Amino acid sequence: MATQIDIVNRALLAIGARAQVSSISPSDGSTEADVAAVLYTPTFETLAREAHWNCLRKQTFLTLLQAAPGTPENVSGTSMPTPPQPWNYAYALPPDCLQVRQILPNMTQTPNVAPTPVSIAAPLYLPNDMALKFQVALSYDPNGNPIQVILTYIDQAQCVYTANLPNPQFWDSTFQMAMVASLSAAFVPALSLHMGLMQGQNALAERLVNEARVRDGNEGVTSQDHTPDWLRVRGCGNTTKTGWDSAYAGFQVRGWGGF
């Protein structure tokens, strides 16, 4: 099972370094460990944002911080702080979030309400590859401290995001290889000065990132067969409502967008 030290030592081997390290946090005192201690975290965070790696995918309900006047959570406009217009809600950014991928509505059945009959063959349609419009922004807590928030129109929102998980124990083999290539390329200016080697490692990391984008996209839901709203209202295409259409009709969503 890989550790951070394993990743660092593999990266050192990739650039032909003879030395190996025993610790980077704290450093074991070697030049290689000192360099790794500085470069490991920013290299990981940059790589993690380059693709929607499945091994770093996390989904959770968000904590509501602000609600617009007139929403069920802030009917009078005085019970909660309000988000910037035109957004309805502001949620706390998860503390381990490196990149927000999607915002999803709460699909939990309402208590004491009979479930809507649906066909298991009928997918739930969410526009734009299941993505609802959102924006990550800077806000302030009641004490005036700066905080990062997610602005959206959705109540009881869920967030799909890239988690800050620098422990290689949970990485798949492709992400490990990409991290080794990226880290070894970062080591070159400090330890080797072999610029050709750096370019080769960068090219390898880029290839692995592109492969991950294709693979993770194929494993997820990338398209949905539906008639666009602007065609449906003109009587074109299949206008028959499925059970999922009826179930989704209760979500009053405005401002669709990508991510």
Please indicate, yes or no, if residue 225 is contained in any of the structural domains. no
Question: Which position has the higher pLDDT, 53 or 215?
Answer: 53
Helix (H, G, I), strand (E, B) or coil at 30: coil
pLDDT > 80? residue 175: yes
SS3 103: strand
| Token pair recorded at residue 96 | 């381990």
Same structural domain for residues 73 and 143?
yes
Instruction: Please give the pLDDT value at position 126.
Output: 53
Residue 235 lies in a domain: no
Rounded to two decimals, the pTM is 0.73
Q: Are residues 59 and 148 in the same domain?
A: yes
Q: How many domains does the chain have?
A: 2
Most confident of 54-68, 97-111, 206-220, 223-237: 54-68
Domain that holds residue 45: 4-53+172-219
Q: Do 21 and 105 fall within a single domain?
A: no
pLDDT above 70 coverage of the chain, percent: 71
Q: Which residue has the higher pLDDT, 143 or 214?
A: 143
**Is the same domain home to 125 and 99?**
yes
- Pick the residue with more confidence: 7 or 234? 7
How does pLDDT run across 152-161, given as a tens digit for each residue? 999 999 999 9
Q: Which residue has the higher pLDDT, 27 or 259?
A: 27
Confidence band for 34, pLDDT divided at 50, 70 and 90? very high
Q: What is the pLDDT of residues 46-71, one digit of tens each?
A: 999 988 999 999 999 999 999 999 99
Q: pLDDT tens-digit profile of 86-126?
A: 999 999 999 999 999 999 998 765 555 454 444 444 444 45
74 contacts: CB under 8 Å, gap ≥ 6:
67, 68, 80, 82
Q: What span, in angstroms and rounded, lies between the C-alpha atoms of 20 and 248?
A: 56
- If asked whether residues 160 and 61 sit together in one domain, one would say yes
Q: Which residues contact 15 (CB under 8 A, 6 or more apart)?
A: 184, 187, 188, 191, 192, 194, 197, 201
Residue 81 falls inside a structural domain = yes
16 in any annotated domain: yes
The vertex-46 CA angle with 44 and 48, nearest 5°, equals: 65
Cross-strand pairs, 61? 158
